[in-house]
Structure 1
Amino acid sequence: MTSPRPVWQEPYVEVLRHGLAHRSVGWQQQGDVEQVSDALIHKNVFKIRGTIAATNYMRIPRDVVQGTYGLGLTGRYVYIQLRRVRDLPLLLHMDLVTSKKTTLRFSLSSMYTALRSTGTVLRVPLQLNKSWTTVVIDMVELLACHTFNDYCRENYRCLKAVTCCAAMNLRNVFISSTLYTTETLPVALALPVAYAAQGGPYVWLSLPADEMKNHAASHRKTPTKARQRNESDFEEVEDTTSETEFFVMLDSQSDHKNTPLSQVLITSPLQENQNLRLPLPPGNL
């Protein structure tokens, strides 16, 4: 079960517009990020270029405040409209908070070939072609795919932060408690009909796929004590969130260029004294 959904979050929240419109939320960009008109759909999009995810990205919210729920968006389904740039890798981070106040991260990337849990991070393969794609993420079902028993049994509470890294064209990110289809998607959120009329193919991708669920079920394990979240470090925050007032939290990012993925070694503060091997480190969760 998810937390009660504030009325203002119905029927959906456009995450990018929300960050741009409210100073208390804000957004941060770094590196080669600009707003351009996409030649295919003739809409304004954010073009994130580059090959290093840690230095070319945009994230919402802007700031990091430890001990809060960040964006606090409680919708179950996250919709991301994007297009891959050539054959360059792309990366998406979604930080969430569970009912036990555990901070976890979903990392979706074209560099991953299989679902894998690494500490508090769930790495999700995201294989896209060069067409405009709407990625639909069921946060509850994806959390259940975590291969650590203690984490997959926790309930999804809210989306804390979103980070979109190179390389991609990003049109929109929105979150809702409603599972839309290509036919029921609100007109304001749908990709332009003119593009489809000209033969431009749209892709509708739902996650997690059935094979991910089967893979997770066959690889369940129990995390060590050092990997478990210390709930005393998470401050209890009174639910007084309004549309214009938010506290935000998102970890910083880093990257290891020209280093084999299997050799990238980092230590995350939430897993003290535990060395974790990650392709793109989650930063200071």
Structure 2
Amino acid sequence: MAPTVLEYLHAYILPGLLMVKSAVYFLQAAITSPTLPISDFKAYRDLSFASFWIAVGPVFADVVPPMLGEILATSHGVVLDIGPGSGDQVFRFSSKDNITMIYGVEPGVNLHHALRENAKKAGLGEKYKVLSCGAEPDSLIPILKKEGLFSKDGSIGGGMFDEIVCIRVLCSVPKPNETVEVLYRCLKPGGRFVICEHVVNESNKEGNKAGRFFHKEGSKVGHLLQFFYTALGWEFFVGCHLLRDTTATLVNAAKSDHGWAEVNLELFDEWSVLPHVVGYCVKKL
């Protein structure tokens, strides 16, 4: 079904509204902690980002394709939840009895309290452990070793996670290809890599690297607006990249094993500024 005029307008204007809202939280953080932008700019950004995502997170948690909830309802075993933020999506791990442990990798310490509280509300309790680190290898690997998740020889070996989940986070990691390749190595054979990520809007099939999976065309207006909002400072204010081909990054991560055993990915809102890829890939046994 084609989107309505109102849906087009909402999708095209929404990124601008998000940037304005983020700028407001930047200003509020500067007012409440006037010396912080000068003394520790990173801490200042972390503080403002935390306030921003705690405010918008619950709203955006509901704006995902139903497919995501269906997938996470079948999660099991030991799960690595990358960048859960304040935990607004944690409730989607609804089959709690099938889950052994979820490790939530979240570098924003100002979000940890809300993340733990949301995990408790979701009924996960002691099954959800927050790890204070990022997804990039030099941050993640030392923490995983400290948690005793590596093999006895200290290597990743055959992987340690039954499932790895990335919801709107791979757009913000510094080195996506390197990060996803290491996450792939952390996945057990037969394990599932779940994503819900916004991606670059490809306005023609010829240039669409993911076309062989989706068979959908993007929108030239959506594609141009991605460049427009990027030029206005989207990366600075919202903290992520609009123009990443995360689908290609994920698919290519399995090249060393001659591809994934199964690729089940679907593109939603391909006409918008924030088209999303949702689904999962299964690692070969």
Q: What TM-score comes out, normalization by structure 2 length?
A: 0.27
Rg larger for:
2
- Greater strand share, structure number: 1
Q: What TM-score comes out, normalization by structure 1 length?
A: 0.27
Larger relative contact order (CA 8 Å, sep ≥ 6): 1
